Amino acid sequence: METQGLTSMTDEAQIRWMALGDTTRRPAVVMLHGGPGLPDYLGDVAPMVADLAPVYRYDQRGTGQSPWRGRHFFARHVDDLVDLLDAWDVPAAVLIGHSYGSDLASRFCMAHPDRVAAMLLICGPFVGDWRTRARAERDRRMSAAQQKRLRELEELPRRTEDQEVELLTLAWFTDHSDPERGWHWAAQGARRRRPINWSMNGELGKERRADPLDEHLPELRECLPARAELLGGADDPRPVSALEPLALRLALPLKRIEGAGHEPWLEQPDAVRAHLRRFIQGAVGAQG
């Protein structure tokens, strides 16, 4: 059974959250969605492990049903997670971060290592000059006409609803291993994962470039919980090879999901489910 709620942060912002499973059990799992600027989209992933531990998800401030206006900072988003863990009475959580959520999980771990029981980072965080390779691979997967149309839409000062859906579909369909199914998932996401907080995306992106996680890896390694792993889709245009130096520098195992892109649970649900369940079972057992 899923429960939902609204929790006030220390600055009175309201964060909408969802919980699946027996919320009296500990440790709890907290899933951190990507973006930044998207609402939560991990509703299909939570049921894979909710029988093993309660799973919490939430719309980050300024997204989905967590309305908020103001400047975005990593420190504020880290504080939000502290406030939520306090509200849920979760002393230490098993963090599962996807894409940008893996960056947020890492920064939270450095700030509050005592509140991280275990951590699984999915499709991120990437280190080094991965963006150049990601853009080149995205272009390779698109036709010349699609590339031209995407640039046209990006340059519009304002977009209609149909234009926004078209832009997001073009931007996201190359995230998947299978281009045909990828187009379907991208079009579906372009309608559901809305509205996008572009200001949040730009502000946190700028901060991430100014203070990259790359420069904090020795600190992060010292803070990591005993159980921490990396998981990536082998066909993610954000090259899984960019996770390899991170795995080496953090001394973490890296699991590749073959035949999957940036959202591996869509293309290889059985493989992702098996990996998540093994990870959670190990984390829960270690805490028991």
pLDDT tens-digit map of 220-233? 999 999 999 999 99
Q: Would the pTM count as exceeding 0.85?
A: yes
| Residue 1 binned pLDDT confidence (cut-offs 50, 70, 90) | confident
- The token pair at 141 is 């997967």
∠ Cα 38 41 45 (to 5°):
150
Report whether pLDDT(286) > 70: no
| Cis preceding-peptide flag for 195 (omega within 30 of 0) | yes
Identify the three-state secondary structure at position 29. strand
Q: How far apart are CA 200 and CA 89, in angstroms?
A: 28
Return the pLDDT at 122: 98
Q: At what angle do helices 198-210 and 74-88 cross, to 10 degrees?
A: 110
226, 286 in Cβ contact below 8 A? yes
Q: State how far the Cα of 101 lies from the Cα of 257, in Å rounded to an integer.
A: 19
- pLDDT for the residue numbered 288: 52
Integer Cα distance of 110 and 220 in angstroms: 6
User: pLDDT class for 14, splitting at 50, 70, 90?
Assistant: very high
Does residue 271 contact residue 232 with C-beta atoms inside 8 Å? no
Please say if the pLDDT value at position 92 is more than 90: yes
Strands in the chain per DSSP E:
2-8, 14-20, 28-32, 55-58, 93-98, 116-122, 228-233, 254-257
Q: Cβ atoms within 10 A of the Cβ of 61, count?
A: 23
What mean pLDDT comes out for the span 7-16?
A: 95
Q: What is the average per-residue pLDDT within 121-144?
A: 94
> Counting Cβ atoms within 10 Å, is residue 263 exposed (0-12), middle (13-18) or buried (19+)?
buried
> Of the candidates 233, 237, 242, 261, which has an alpha carbon nearest to the alpha carbon of residue 138?
237
Does position 111 have pLDDT exceeding 80, yes or no?
yes
Q: Output the six-digit token pair for 245.
A: 């130096």
pLDDT tens digits, residue range 206-254? 999 999 999 999 999 999 999 999 999 999 999 888 899 999 999 999 9
Cα–Cα distance, 249 to 221 (Å, whole number)? 8
Closest by CA position to 232, among listed 244, 224, 221, 217: 244
Q: Does residue 109 surpass a pLDDT of 70?
A: yes
Which of left, alpha, beta for 251 (phi over 0: left; psi -120 to 50: alpha)? left
**Statement: residue 287 has pLDDT above 70:** no
The 10s digit of each residue's pLDDT in 134-161 is 999 999 999 999 999 999 999 999 999 9
